[in-house]
Amino acid sequence: MEKDSNFILTGKAVERYFDLNDALMEFHNLFTYESKDDRAIAILGGTFLEMILEHILYAFFPEDDKEVGEMMQFNQPLGNFSNKIKMCYCLGLIDKIIKDDLNLIRKIRNEFARDLYASFESDRIKSWCLQLKWHKIIVTPYPPSDATPKDYFQVGVNSLITHLNGCVSIARNDKRIIKDNF
């Protein structure tokens, strides 16, 4: 049986693969349901999702560390969570429901980063948590009646991470190639 070279990781893809897996392990250790620090949970969840989007984009874009790396820098086209979400969506790398949930997570993360009194029980954040949809599709359409907004957030983040981790592999298989035919 002949091996398909499209499924063999080489070069930077190998390094990124292990970096993402190491990060997933660290995230697993920090993003626990036992954590009492709501701010850490909100910021960590959003930040980790942003990092996975970056991995998706690196997997999809051509191997040009200088150009792609510059686009990911602060104050550049892909230097923030919102623009990474938009780019992944516009390139067809994520679906609309994923985009919508990521934007809710982004808002929650930003609210906790800006407001020292932010809480999962505040009306605004609670509303955003209850609007998350992806976990209702892949986990259960009927969350337990005693689920808190923080529970919705954590299950939502974990569901998105699972899905987006698979999107990295899909993006890698559709990787762009630099054209230099002249």
What is the model's pLDDT at position 9?
82
Question: And the tokens for 151?
Answer: 């529970």
Model confidence at 159, pLDDT cuts 50, 70, 90, reads very high
The rounded distance, in Å, linking the Cα atoms of 45 and 92 is 23
Evaluate whether 43 touches 113 at the Cβ level (below 8 Å). Answer: yes
What is the model's pLDDT at position 13?
86
- Neighbouring C-beta atoms of residue 153, cutoff 10 Å: 27
Residue among 60, 65, 24 at smallest CA distance from 160:
24
pTM of the model: 0.91
Has residue 22 got a pLDDT over 50?
yes
CA-based Rg of the chain, rounded to a whole angstrom? 18
Has residue 160 got a pLDDT over 70?
yes
Q: Per residue in 145-157, pLDDT tens?
A: 999 999 999 999 9
